[in-house]
Structures are given as structure tokens and as C-alpha cells.
Chain A
Amino acid sequence: MNRLNIQPLEHLNTWLETLQQRRHRFAVGLFMALCLNLAIAPALYATTESLERGNAYALGLLGLVVTGLAIYLTAVILQPERF
């Protein structure tokens, strides 16, 4: 009986943990996607336009900064108390 009662709770616990990890993973994933963008964007630019590799990386970085600002502002909109 006892075991039966506890098991769902354990289940819930592990589920919560994975959820937290998953949330963490989402943030990491987003970050990785942004970094990937940093890698891909210059390549795209380099192939499509007559840009030097350094310029392309700089532009990629700029894109990253703009995206970062947009995420930051979204955070402000959703949780203005923290700012």
C-alpha cells in the first residue's frame, strides 16, 4: 500500500525535475541557436554578397546583439518589477 502511495509522488518529482531541466535546456537551446546563427549568417552573407569574412562575422555578431536586446525587452515587458 505504502509503496503504491509514494510512487506517484516520486513520479511527479522526477517529472518536475525533468521539467526544470527542460526549461534550462530551452534557454541553452536558444543560446545555441543564436550561436549557430552567428556561424551561419556570415557564411550566407559571404556567399551571397561581396563581403569579407571579418565583416560578415561582425554583422552576425550585430544580429546577435539585436536579438539579445529583443529578448531583454520582452523580459522587461513580462516582468517589469525586476527592472
Chain B
Amino acid sequence: MLEGFLQLVIALLILLVVAPFLGKYMARVFMGQRTLLDPVARPLERLLFASGGFSSQPAMTGGQYIRAILVSNLVMGILVLAIFMLQGVLPLNPTNLDAPDWDLALHTAISFVTNTNQQHYSGETTYSYFSQVGALGFLMFTSAATGIAVAIAFIRGLTGNPLGNFYVDLTLSITRILLPFSIVGAIALLIAGVPETFAGPAVAQTLEGATQYIARGPVAHFEIIKELGENGGGFFGINSAHPYENPNNFTNLLETIIMVVIPAALILTYGIMAGKPRQGWLIFGMVFIFYAVMVGITAVGEFQGNPVVNGILGGQAPNLEGKEVRFGWALTALWAVTTTGTMCGAVNGMHDSLMPAGGFATLSDLFLQIIWGGQGTGTAYLFVFLILTVFLTGLMVGRTPEFLSRKIEKREIVLASIILLVHPIAILIPGAITLAFPETVGAPDVATLAGITNPGYHGISQVIYEYASAAANNGSGFEGLADDTLWWNLSASFSLLVGRYVPIIALVYLADSMAHKQPVPETAGTLHTDTFLFTSITAGTIVILGALTFLPVLVLGPVAEGFAIAQAALGLS
């Protein structure tokens, strides 16, 4: 037990050490200051800008910025969809895979364009090397960079600066952050034993004489951007539980840290760019505490194991169902919370097999989407909560609420509110429809959930998790769900699109309208937002708003399931 918790503490400590450096580095990049990579990256960027045909890079208005995001994303989505549909005739297809069904291809394309990487397929048997590397690998960089660009534009707007140029920020995110880190990381993974090859599957003769095909491919570089960009789409169906994606404890630790480091560091980047490092650290601390609590809840649940199983064993044993024994309960719990919190969505164990406490924590991560949050967008959501808190508390000190010296008025509240509405609309409504017709539209295969006396509650978790994962652009699955059907592909696509673009549009407009406000001078009557008190109230607001919205489904899902298991264990003893 001690060893397990020690592993958790070490991982968290490494994060605390690394994040400030990265935060500072990203701030330098986007404030146009000199960085170490200048000699290498500058010529490359110059070449890219020149070939893209824009030597001058004017700052964009909110509308232009949004148009740039939507158009670029649409073009990339169509391109990728075309690659999927034509993969049968395209090169690098050693296993001669045909084009997938249109609905699966559409879902996959949308899922990767939106930085979600929800996979209703197994990579090794569905998409060719070209589709994986050329189409998916490409989107893994651009979708992550889109997120970072939005976050930077948002921070700039909040602090009263022009939003910047989307294409420049997109390029800088790739050349200065994603690409260099990926190259170093991929080499580290290669050394640690992750394969990188275009050769087809290895063929092996087993001792029994059977022929076994062992899938492999260009995994290492795919793996690193999968974690770094909060993408999460695995090269193999079982994702980072696969020994070629995540062979040992070193790669597991590296991948866990890589997963969380950009969203964590972006908060500190905000502090530096806004000239409010204290606020950056306070928010960082708040999220860190949320994160630690979630890890704690999940880890304790997994460590205590299933009371029903424990009853049969006659003693306490950690829950190892659905886990890689290499990683054990602690690192799986850490990974599960990290991957759902950061909207990465890669998994190193089956979340379906987590204890209800883990189900509760991972679902809450998805609902709140700020426990680090997605690449860039998570940081922006944090500020939406901050703005809502400022509105309430600002009134309570008797002034028109202001944030960073800018007044929060009707327009800002409308835009923040739209973001608040996205999750109920994109998760609860499709979830309720799906559960209304469990037989017709392909519901969870509840019969396989052996050992759980009342499979119904778990079914709710599975359905809600799928939509929450789509709407939060996470991409992990609770699994145990037959999700490659027309209904799931299309309804999840709806949640993916609504969950990605509606908030991004609202965020950019919000930043734009904040940027154009006349700053109000600070006085003794100004509410200071960089205080412990205010940050605590923000934490309360996040918990209350999140809890109020999702308590009914959480109660019907993991909570009821937990009670049911406890009841069953009592019945046994």
C-alpha cells in the first residue's frame, strides 16, 4: 500500500517541479520573447509563413479568429475523412484494410479534429498506417495546437490585448511546443522499448504451433503526441495498456506527466502573461488540490477493492480487474484521473472496471472539465468559472463586478452562460434519449458485468460517460459499450461538435469583448481576485454548479452502484 501511495506522491511532485518551467517557457513563446529554440524554429517558421503566403501577421478580431478556427478545422476534417474513405487505395496499408463505414469514418474524423480522439474502433484492425500517421497523427498536432491558440487568445483578450493571429499561434504552438517536446519524448520512448516501424505485423509461431500476428507500427511518435496534445487516441485498441504503447513503469510515468504538464503549465502561463503570477499560482493550487482529491478518491477505492470479492476472499485485496499488473492499482488510478481530468482520454486500464468511487471521480472530471482540463480549453473554462464567481461576489461587495479591471456585464454573462449550458445539452439530453430506448439503439451489454448484482446503475454510468467523454472532448471510453453503431457514431458526433466549437466560439467572443472594455482603475473598493479567499469561493462555485447539474446522474450511476455493492457485500457476510 505504502509503495502505491509513494508512487502517486512522486508523480505529483514531479509535476510541481516541471510545470513552472514549462509555464514560463510558453509565456515567453507567446509574448514573442527570446527562447532557446529560436535558432532552429525561427527559420522554419519563416519558411512556413512565407509558403502560407502571409508575411505580415495582423491581429484578428473575434469574428476573424473564429472564422479562422472553423474554416481550418473544417478543411482538415474533410481532408482526413477523404483519407479514411480512400485508405484502400492509398499507400502504407500493409494489412490491406478497406475503407470503414461512413458513420465510423465521420465520427473518427470529427473526434480527432476536436482533439477528443474518441475511438469506436480498434486502430490496428481498422485504419492503415497512412490513415493513422498521415491523418490522425496530423490532427493530433493541429487540434492540440488549436486548443493552445484559443487559450492564448483568451488570455490576451482578458488582459486587454489584441487576440493575436490564429495561424501564427497555431504554428508557434507546433514549432515551439508540441514538435520539440514530441521529438525528445518519442526518442525517450523508443529507448524505453516502444516500436517505430512501417513494417507490417510480426508473425510468430507459438509453442503450440499456432501462428500469431503481432500488430506493430510507427507507435513511438504517435504515442508521445497522443499524451502531450491531450489527444488520447491509441495506436492500438487497448491504448496505453498495450505493451507496445506503454511497456514499463518508466514509460508510464513519462506518459502520465506529459499528459498533464501542458494544461497545468498553461495556468502559470496565464499568471505570467497577465502580470498576476500570484493568481496563477492560486488557481494552479486550487486545481492541484481538486486533482489530488480525485486521485485520492479513486486510489482509495481501488486499493480497498470490491467488498463483494473481498468477502469471498476473506480479506482485503486491491481491485485489479481490468488493470495491467505492471502498473497496479495506484498508477492505474493516477492515470485514470489524469486522463479524464486533462481531457487526454488515453487509458492504461479499463475504466469500466474501476470501483464506483473511481467511476464517480472520472465522471466528475469529465463533467467539470477544469481539473487541469483540455489542451488550452481547460484553462479557458477555469476563467469562465472565475468570471461567474466574480459576478456573484462582485455584486456582494457593492460594485459592478470586474475581472482584471474589466467590467463583467450582460454580454459576458451571456457568453459564459452559453458555456455553462453546453454540458447539460450535450451530455444529459442524448444520454436520456439513449436510456429511453435501451433495446433499440444498442445499449450496454449488461449481462457481461458479472459480480455486480444490479447492472442497471453501471449501465447509466457507461452511457453518460460516453457522452461526457465526447462533450468534454476527452475521448476515453467506459468501454463495455457496443459503440460502433450508427446511433452512437452520430449522437456522439453531435456531442463532440457541440462540446468543442460552441465553447470555443463563446470563449473567443468573450475574450474579444473583454479586450475592448475600458479598464477600471483599482481602488480599495475593488475586489481582488488574486486572494486565497476569492480562490476558495471559486472552488466552491465550481463544486456547487458542477454538483447541482450532475448530481442526479451521479446518484443514479456510480453512487447507487456503490451502495448496491455495499449492500451485496453485507448480504454475503
Check A-B contact in the complex, CB < 8 A. yes
Q: B31 contacts which chain A residues (CB < 8 A)? A: none
Separation of A78 and B417 alpha carbons in the complex (Å): 10
Q: B417 contacts which chain A residues (CB < 8 A)? A: 77
Tell me the minimal C-beta distance from A68 to chain B in angstroms. Answer: 16
Tell me the minimal C-beta distance from B558 to chain A in angstroms. Answer: 27
Separation of A77 and B437 alpha carbons in the complex (Å): 32
Tell me the minimal C-beta distance from A79 to chain B in angstroms. Answer: 10
Tell me the minimal C-beta distance from A82 to chain B in angstroms. Answer: 13
Q: A80 contacts which chain B residues (CB < 8 A)? A: 410
Q: B437 contacts which chain A residues (CB < 8 A)? A: 48
Separation of A48 and B439 alpha carbons in the complex (Å): 10
Separation of A48 and B417 alpha carbons in the complex (Å): 37
Separation of A78 and B421 alpha carbons in the complex (Å): 13
Number of A-B contacts (CB under 8 A): 5
Instruction: List residues of B (552-573) whose CB comes within 8 Å of A's CBs.
Output: none
Instruction: List residues of A (30-83) whose CB comes within 8 Å of B's CBs.
Output: 48, 77-78, 80
B414 part of interface (Cβ distance < 8 Å): yes
- Chain B contributes a number of interface residues (CB within 8 A of A) equal to 4
Separation of A80 and B410 alpha carbons in the complex (Å): 9
Separation of A48 and B437 alpha carbons in the complex (Å): 9
Separation of A48 and B440 alpha carbons in the complex (Å): 10
User: Of all chain A residues, which has the CB nearest B414?
Assistant: A77
Instruction: List residues of B (228-276) whose CB comes within 8 Å of A's CBs.
Output: none
Separation of A83 and B270 alpha carbons in the complex (Å): 38
Q: B410 contacts which chain A residues (CB < 8 A)? A: 80
Tell me the minimal C-beta distance from A34 to chain B in angstroms. Answer: 16
Tell me the minimal C-beta distance from A42 to chain B in angstroms. Answer: 14
Tell me the minimal C-beta distance from A81 to chain B in angstroms. Answer: 9
* Per-position binary interface string of chain B over residues 121-140, scored 1 when its CB falls under 8 Å from any chain A CB and 0 otherwise: 00000000000000000000
Q: A78 contacts which chain B residues (CB < 8 A)? A: 414
Separation of A48 and B438 alpha carbons in the complex (Å): 11
Tell me the minimal C-beta distance from B509 to chain A in angstroms. Answer: 14
Separation of A36 and B432 alpha carbons in the complex (Å): 20
User: Of all chain B residues, which has the CB nearest A74?
Assistant: B421
Separation of A78 and B418 alpha carbons in the complex (Å): 10
Separation of A21 and B477 alpha carbons in the complex (Å): 45
User: Of all chain B residues, which has the CB nearest A78?
Assistant: B414
Tell me the minimal C-beta distance from B425 to chain A in angstroms. Answer: 10
User: Of all chain B residues, which has the CB nearest A80?
Assistant: B410
Tell me the minimal C-beta distance from A64 to chain B in angstroms. Answer: 16
Q: A48 contacts which chain B residues (CB < 8 A)? A: 437
Q: A77 contacts which chain B residues (CB < 8 A)? A: 414, 417
Separation of A80 and B414 alpha carbons in the complex (Å): 10
Separation of A6 and B410 alpha carbons in the complex (Å): 42
Separation of A78 and B414 alpha carbons in the complex (Å): 7
Separation of A78 and B413 alpha carbons in the complex (Å): 10
Separation of A48 and B435 alpha carbons in the complex (Å): 13
* Per-position binary interface string of chain B over residues 292-307, scored 1 when its CB falls under 8 Å from any chain A CB and 0 otherwise: 0000000000000000
Separation of A12 and B25 alpha carbons in the complex (Å): 53
Tell me the minimal C-beta distance from A78 to chain B in angstroms. Answer: 7
Instruction: List residues of B (374-415) whose CB comes within 8 Å of A's CBs.
Output: 410, 414
Separation of A77 and B420 alpha carbons in the complex (Å): 12
Tell me the minimal C-beta distance from B150 to chain A in angstroms. Answer: 23
* Per-position binary interface string of chain B over residues 425-444, scored 1 when its CB falls under 8 Å from any chain A CB and 0 otherwise: 00000000000010000000
Tell me the minimal C-beta distance from B410 to chain A in angstroms. Answer: 7
User: Of all chain A residues, which has the CB nearest B410?
Assistant: A80
Separation of A80 and B417 alpha carbons in the complex (Å): 13
Q: B414 contacts which chain A residues (CB < 8 A)? A: 77-78
Separation of A77 and B417 alpha carbons in the complex (Å): 9
Tell me the minimal C-beta distance from B436 to chain A in angstroms. Answer: 9
Separation of A65 and B437 alpha carbons in the complex (Å): 22
Sorted nearest first, the 5 A-B pairs with minimum C-beta distance are A77-B417, A77-B414, A80-B410, A78-B414, A48-B437
Show 5 residue pairs from A and B whose CB-CB distance is below 8 angstroms, ordered by the A residue.
A48-B437, A77-B414, A77-B417, A78-B414, A80-B410
Chain A contact residues, CB within 8 Å of chain B: 48, 77-78, 80
